[in-house]
Amino acid sequence: MLQRLFRFSSIFKVASLISFGAMILCYLAPFIHPKTLSILPFFGLLYPVLLGINLGWLLLWGLARSKWAIYTLIVLGLGGKMHFRSLAFSSNSPADPTGIKVLTYNVRLFDLFNPSFSKSIENRNKIFAYIRRTDPDVLCLQEYYRQDKPTDFEVVDSLFSIMGNRNYHERSAHRRSTHQNYGIAMFSKYPIISKGDVMFESQGSKDFNYCIYADIIKNQDTFRVYNVHLQSIRLHTEPNIEAATDEEGMASERALRSVFSKLRLAYLKRAEQARRVVEHIKTSPYPVIVCGDFNDTPMSYTYNQFNRFLKDAFRQTSNGIGSTYIGRLPAGRIDYLFYDPKLLTSGFRIQEEELSDHRALVCTFSRQK
């Protein structure tokens, strides 16, 4: 059976060469700016698919006892440690009680726009309950919502109550007509001695992507915590592939162009936003913790800008795949907790409950003794 199949080996060889080339382009994606070669980020996004295809070729060529199995191994080997960006095999020690516990969570506006208001209230309260159980020292929220006027969908006072004080920093876009604010926020159980924003270009009233930071003291140790929400893709704001398919399920050319155009623009914006955040981090007088929704995978240029000089808490203190996004278009791990190499980590966890389209991350950071 296998011998008959490999009568078409010339076709398989061409297909293998194409998958080899795609895999190599995937390896290059984290190191080359999207502006230089705009197609590269798409190969990084497709890393799990390309890896699966090449592993399939390895199996097939191996069964055929062909030298092409060796060629496939060489291509896979070129990725080296990059293959472990999406996997972790570390032990996870219990949280250090003397450290600072940070929880980062994209809460999707606490489910504000659920068609059922009672369901919105229920999900908001479940998120509050999760935060209370986790008991973080620092709470970093993305897609945060707050309303200026008294409302049935109250948020900020409940969070003050959970955290036990009003140490707080927020950056948001304000809608005057509804008195609503959308953005990011940071709450701390411990004193905030300084705080500020890292400004992204073209930030207006319709932009909800921000970066804020705060210098926080616990037990005479000072940490600078950054809360980051980098450029979203916003596929829902225009026709997407799912919405623009014909009766046979084929996506229209216009829909595909729209999706790819929005992805390309988002990659470019995230690269610039990452550059600004990294430049600011390098001026910090204190050890840094950088967390949030980065909207990019571990095989991206954006991830690499932080991973070059900071450690990834998931890779250092956890195991498994670590998927954090659970929306309609699964993107794997796009939420991160990066930290200064001077710090130690313990008690890393990824939320199991599905209360948003993201899972929360929690980790404790402490100074090296």
pLDDT average per 10 residues of sequence, the chain (369 residues):
62 93 97 95 94 95 91 96 84 86 97 92 96 98 89 91 96 78 96 96 69 96 97 59 47 74 93 97 98 96 97 88 77 91 95 94 92
- 352 shares a domain with 242: yes
Degrees, nearest 5: CA angle 163-306-363: 30
Q: Are residues 174 and 47 in the same domain?
A: no
Q: How many domains, the chain?
A: 2
Same domain, 156 and 268: yes
Per-residue confidence (pLDDT) for residue 244, from 0 to 100: 44
The pLDDT, as a whole number, for residue 195 is 97
Domain boundary among 84, 116, 134: 84
Q: Parallel, antiparallel, or unpaired for β 100-106 and 138-147?
A: parallel
Domain interval for residue 35: 2-84
Residue 188: helix, strand or coil by DSSP?
A: strand
Confidence at residue 207, expressed as pLDDT on a 0 to 100 scale = 67
Taking alpha carbons only, the member of 181, 167, 182 closest to residue 214 is 167
> pLDDT tens, 268-322?
999 999 999 999 999 999 999 999 999 999 999 999 999 999 999 999 888 778 8
CB 211 within 8 A of CB 229: yes
**226 & 349 share domain:** yes
Tell me: do 178 and 48 sit in the same domain.
no
pLDDT for the residue numbered 345: 95
CATH number at residue 193: 3.60.10.10
9 and 132 housed in the same domain: no
DSSP, res 365: E
> Rounded CA gap, 51 and 74, in Å?
13
**Packing angle of the helix pair 47-63, 68-77 (nearest 10 deg):** 150
**The two three-digit tokens of residue 59, written as one number:** 């199996």
Start-end of H helices in the chain: 2-5, 9-28, 40-45, 47-63, 68-77, 117-134, 156-163, 253-281, 301-307, 313-317
| Residue 289 contacts residue 223 (beta carbons within 8 Å) | yes
Query: Residues 53, 141: one domain?
Result: no
Of 150, 315, 331, which is closest to residue 233 (Cα–Cα)?
Answer: 331
Q: How many whole angstroms separate alpha carbon 243 and alpha carbon 15?
A: 32
Predicted pLDDT at 206:
61
Question: Based on the domain organization, do 64 and 96 belong to the same domain?
Answer: no
What does the alpha-carbon distance between residue 217 and residue 188 come to, in Å, rounded to a whole number?
Answer: 10
Other CB atoms within 10 A of residue 105 CB: 29
Same domain, 354 and 321: yes
Residues 102 and 218 in one domain: yes
Domain boundary among 84, 107, 130: 84
Please provide residue 173's backbone torsions phi and psi, each rounded to the nearest 5 degrees: -95, 135
Q: Looking at the structure, tell me whether residues 350 and 303 fall in a common domain.
A: yes
According to DSSP, residue 6 is labeled: G
Q: What is the pLDDT of residue 91?
A: 73
CA distance 83 to 23: 11
Final residue in a domain of this structure, among 20, 54, 84: 84
Given a contact cutoff of 8 angstroms between Cβ atoms, the answer to whether 29 and 300 are in contact is yes
Which residue, chain included where needed, has tokens 């909207």? 295
pLDDT on residue 320: 79
Q: How far apart are the first and last CA of the chain?
A: 63
Ramachandran bin of 73, using left for φ above 0, alpha for ψ from -120 to 50, beta for the remaining angles: alpha
Q: Looking at residue 331, what is its pLDDT? A: 58
Q: Positive or negative, the Cα torsion across 94, 97, 100, 102? A: positive
Identify the pLDDT of residue 198: 96
The answer on 178 and 54 residing in a single domain is no
**Structure tokens, 90:** 């570390």
Q: What is the pLDDT of residue 208?
A: 78
